[in-house]
Amino acid sequence: MKKITFIFILFLASGFAFGQFSIGPKIGFNTSKLTTDLDQIESDASSNFNFGVFVRLGSKIYLQPEINWLTSGGVYKKPQIGDVKPIKQEVEMKSIEIPVIVGWRIINLGVGNIRVLAGPSATIVTNSTVSTSDPDNFINPIKESDIEDMLWGFNIGAGADILMFTLDIRYQMGLNEVIQEVEGFSFNSKNNMFAVSLGWKIL
């Protein structure tokens, strides 16, 4: 946490150096899906809220680092095959996400603008849980220890500014595996996420 605070202070210092500077809170909604390479296992999406703080540096082309607190995950399902019980496990990850977004204002509307954006993100998983609603009838091969605690992603999307409000729509592609292996099988699960957020530029 001390490292994150130090990084955010550096962002603030850079903002004043750039001249064009704004900062504010943001809140949003995200839906995520955990993919897997195993054909027998399906995955359902999970929906959650997120909140954070952003700093925007620059004008037409800008840099926007953020710190976000969010919950993501998904549900893995596999039907019963022969005498092997089915799988139905929900994975939930509470995380601190640090994206660094580069944006370009492509349309100026006077009181607002429309933007395109892209950039990488690092996500630190602070807590993860794996649960099943009916453990007597479902097997539970995935354990909390199988989940990676550092995830990388890449964001693409678009946004709009109206007065002091800023709206972002993003799709985040997972770059590394959330779960690499389960009981000797290559799980190769990645976290892909769609997010909508509304921010308020207080400066």
Q: How far apart are CA 55 and CA 50, in angstroms?
A: 17
Q: Which ranges of 19-79 would DSSP assign to H, the alpha helix?
A: none
For 58, the domain range is 2-200
Q: What is the pLDDT of residues 18-62, one digit of tens each?
A: 557 899 999 999 999 998 888 778 888 889 999 999 999 988 899
Closest by Cα among 156, 86, 79, 84 to 117: 156
Q: How confident is the model at residue 129 (pLDDT cuts 50, 70, 90)?
A: very high
Residue 7 in this model has a pLDDT that exceeds 60:
no
Query: pTM higher than 0.85, yes or no?
Result: yes
Q: Which of 116, 138, 143, 139 is nearest to 128 (CA)?
A: 143
Asked which of 4-8, 61-65, 139-143 is least confident by mean pLDDT, the reply is 4-8
- Of 125, 147, 143, 6, the closest CA to residue 70 belongs to 125
In CATH, what number is assigned to the domain containing residue 99?
2.40.160.20
Q: How many domains does the chain have?
A: 1
Q: Which residues contact 102 (CB under 8 A, 6 or more apart)?
A: 61, 62, 63, 64, 117, 118, 119
